[in-house]
Amino acid sequence: MLMTGFAGFLGLLKIVLMALAAFGLFDAAFRREDAFRAADKQTKVFWLVILGIALIVSYLFSILSFLPIIGVIASIVYIVDVRPAVKQVSGGGGGGGRRGSSSDGPYGPYNGGR
């Protein structure tokens, strides 16, 4: 009974870690390539390859082996470090509301004294 519960937990953990790698892969795929260079975070192709390998490794190997742990670390590095930097450089951000241009001041748009 304990082994069945442990196997179920490991299966659930494997699915969560695969979802983490898949999220990072799809997020990197839809980001602009020049944003990676502007944020000084390797290249888009580099992160697509690393996260793709992490996804494949987490699917093929047991969660208790060494390779999926490396894949999880790579996914976490992308999500925690690279993604926010690329998002900031590319101007993407969450939150709703009205977004103005970069020349908007606290009282509306700045028109250069016109």
Domain ranges of the chain: 13-91
Within 13 Å of residue 82, how many CA atoms lie on the same side as its CB? Answer: 27
- Tokens 């993407």, residue located: 92
pTM of the model: 0.73
Percent of the chain past pLDDT 90, that is, above it, reads 50
- Which residues have C-beta within 8 Å of that of residue 5, sequence separation ≥ 6? none
pLDDT in tens, 44-68: 999 999 999 999 999 998 888 899 9
Q: Which amino acid is at 92?
A: G
- Which residues have C-beta within 8 Å of that of residue 27, sequence separation ≥ 6? 78, 79, 83
Q: How confident is the model at residue 19 (pLDDT cuts 50, 70, 90)?
A: very high
- Tokens 């304990």, residue located: 2
**Average pLDDT score over residue span 28-48:** 92
